[in-house]
Amino acid sequence: MANHSQLGFQDASSPIMEELVEFHDHALMVALAICSLVLYLLALMLMEKLSSNTVDAQEVELIWTILPAIVLILLALPSLQILYMMDEIDEPDLTLKAIGHQWYWTYEYTDFKDLTFDSYMIPTTDLPQGHFRLLEVDHRVVIPMESPIRIIVTAGDVLHSWAVPTLGVKTDAIPGRLNQTSFIATRPGIFYGQCSEICGANHSYMPIVVESTPLAYFESWSSLLSSQ
């Protein structure tokens, strides 16, 4: 999760998030090069005396027309590649359905029989020592690591958004509509997110907690929860 005064992204925990971080760094370097060039030219023009060379220079005009087109291509190609990767859903090992309510989440493991639970934020007065305020829930989403997960997102009342930054996932929850996305957790851990769509007075109080575990632990957890 994010730390105080953190400037960059959270540590990536999925291949998609790794690609997003790399593209962010790539775009930042392009922007830095553009800003450096513009500042250099501005400083050069301020220090140099005006001459007829700045009035009519077709070669320069040709360069500053072609160069932005090349820059846009350098940004568009990796961006389109990531967009197609984010829409790719290929034979998931597990399907999870998240339903947004005011102000909690309901999760359904559709591959299991009667594996459904509600996830509420733990109030500050009941929060165990060492847990994160406004981020901890009473029932976490448990998934197997290194397995393709498909998540279907919808809402039961108003607009919500299921977002976990470290997994590179953000999908709108719209009443009467099913949106889907997929991700792969590449390491074990506990990943925090929140509803990212203003959904009412308690919008800040419906966090998301995803726990990535080895497959053996997930199987024992799902068996225990299904038997209850």
Is 4 among the domain residues?
no
pLDDT for the residue numbered 55: 57
Residue ranges making up the domain that contains 202: 94-226
Note whether 162 and 109 are same-domain residues. Answer: yes
Which pTM was predicted?
0.83
Q: In this predicted model, what pLDDT tens digit does every residue of 93-104 receive, in sequence order?
A: 999 999 999 999
- Provide the token pair at 227: 């038997």
∠ at Cα 39 (37, 40), nearest 5°? Answer: 65
| Inside any domain, residue 8 | no
The pLDDT tens digits of the residues spanning 12-51 come to 899 999 999 999 999 999 999 999 988 998 888 888 776 5
Alpha-carbon distances, residue 1 vs 49, 114, 190, 207 (angstroms): 53, 31, 9, 13
Residues of the chain predicted below pLDDT 50 = none
Following CA atoms 47, 49, 51, 56 in sequence, which dihedral angle do they give, to the nearest 10 degrees? 20
We report the CATH number of the domain holding residue 40 as 1.10.287.90
Beta strands of 21-112 (E only): which ranges?
94-101, 104-109
Number of domains in the chain: 2
Could you give the CA distance from residue 55 to residue 51 in angstroms, rounded to a whole number? 8
